[in-house]
Amino acid sequence: VDGVSNIRYRETVKEIAERLLNSSGVIVSSHIEPDGDSIGCMVAMWRALRAKGINSYLIWEGEIPNRLKFVIENCEITKEEPRDYDTAIVLDSGDLNRLQPAFRNMLKNCRVVINIDHHKSNSMFGDINLVDVESSSAAEMALDLIEELGVELSFDIALPLYVGLITDTGNFSYANTNRKSHLTAIRLISVGVDPYIIHKVLNENKDIKFILLLGDALKSIKLKMGGKIAVIRITSKMLDDNKFDPREVNGFIEYARAVKGIDVAVLLREEDNKVKVSMRSKGKVDVNKIAMALGGGGHEKAAGCEVEGDIDSVERTILNHLEELMGSYK
């Protein structure tokens, strides 16, 4: 980000640092259905505040996917309401509905709610909102704040941030990858993060059941709208057949995205009587618009929502929205 918005970004980072240094206690959390970025930046922020001698609590009571458990290892997780806090940091979360109810209730007791995020759909729910859609990850933004606080960057803070950075940029391959994301990586690697070790842990560490489920899902890929859309499905039957935990599903949509000539990839995953929808845009289609229209959100090129109904009807709903939106570009 250059120019005026950059100045405002720096000023907001400074303002947040001042508030944190003057707080009696800080609660830190992130969104439900955690991913590498959300877990990475909440762990890093909590550690950085502690390193600065600021009373801070990592509030989390939900599940962490197995593939990401190493990020939160050795952290003190607070499940009950702490006694002394007046400030909250909410990371990587587009709106309050994405938070765990217990943490959301604690926000009512805070003098200052700090919202640090990079989602286009962010509802600006904070008293201070550091929302930058140009940032590849919330981890990248968290590092700016950590440096502003004057915390010395340690390996234990850098590692979770690096996980956030590479998961949200798809290993520096998505459209959100830019100069700043690489400069952030340099800062993290400089204190001992080993890119290949992290890559092995995240990407070369799959249960064989994951690969077999992927095989089933790949066979479901269909092109729609004259080859402009690729749809991939994960049905309840596929999950049952492979005895696979749906929370460990990750990255399947990349294979739909890889198809030549498509503009948008869509992943549909059955869950009870609803369907989880993920969308990835390779061009100018703003999939966040569709996700928001259906009660979800995200970024211009990566967004998601949950839609009630069976998988065929949800697919039709999504395709109708895409047809309308893509028609409007012509």
- Which residues form the interface with Mn ion (CB under 5 A)? 37, 92, 138, 168
Q: What is the DSSP string of 261-321?
A: T-SEEEEEEEETTEEEEEEEESSS--HHHHHHHTT-EE-SSEEEEEEES-HHHHHHHHHHH
Q: Is 160 left (phi over 0), alpha (psi -120 to 50) or beta?
A: alpha
Q: Which is nearer to Mn ion, 37 or 300 (CB)?
A: 37
Taking the complex as a whole, how short is the minimal distance between the CB of residue 41 and Mn ion, in angstroms? 8
Q: Show Cβ contacts of residue 221 under 8 Å, excluding neighbours closer than 6 positions.
A: 230, 231, 232, 255, 256, 259
Q: Which is nearer to Mn ion, 23 or 121 (CB)?
A: 121
Tokens of 175: 């459209």
Round to whole Å and give the CA distance between 163 and 139. 8
From residue 116, how far is each of 29, 119, 140, 307 by CA, in Å?
Answer: 11, 10, 10, 27
Classify the C-alpha dihedral 105-108-111-113 as positive or negative: positive
**Closest residue to Mn ion in the complex (CB):** 37
Taking the complex as a whole, how short is the minimal distance between the CB of residue 117 and Mn ion, in angstroms? 8
Taking the complex as a whole, how short is the minimal distance between the CB of residue 206 and Mn ion, in angstroms? 22
Classify the C-alpha dihedral 37-125-3-150 as positive or negative: negative
The one-letter amino acid code at 33 reads E
Q: Which is nearer to Mn ion, 85 or 162 (CB)?
A: 162
Q: Which is nearer to Mn ion, 138 or 145 (CB)?
A: 138
Taking the complex as a whole, how short is the minimal distance between the CB of residue 92 and Mn ion, in angstroms? 4
Q: Which is nearer to Mn ion, 168 or 300 (CB)?
A: 168
Q: Which is nearer to Mn ion, 82 or 170 (CB)?
A: 170
Which residue(s) pair with 130 in the sheet?
116
Round to whole Å and give the CA distance between 59 and 62. 10
Taking the complex as a whole, how short is the minimal distance between the CB of residue 259 and Mn ion, in angstroms? 25
Q: Return the DSSP state at 41.
A: H
Taking the complex as a whole, how short is the minimal distance between the CB of residue 240 and Mn ion, in angstroms? 31
Q: Which is nearer to Mn ion, 37 or 315 (CB)?
A: 37
Q: Return the DSSP state at 135.
A: S
Taking the complex as a whole, how short is the minimal distance between the CB of residue 139 and Mn ion, in angstroms? 7
Q: Which is nearer to Mn ion, 38 or 87 (CB)?
A: 38
Taking the complex as a whole, how short is the minimal distance between the CB of residue 136 and Mn ion, in angstroms? 8
Taking the complex as a whole, how short is the minimal distance between the CB of residue 140 and Mn ion, in angstroms? 9
DSSP-derived pairing of the beta strands 264-271 and 274-281: antiparallel
What is the helix, strand, coil percentage profile of the chain, to 5?
45, 20, 35
Mapping DSSP to helix (H, G, I), strand (E, B) and coil, where does residue 56 land?
strand
Q: Which is nearer to Mn ion, 19 or 31 (CB)?
A: 31
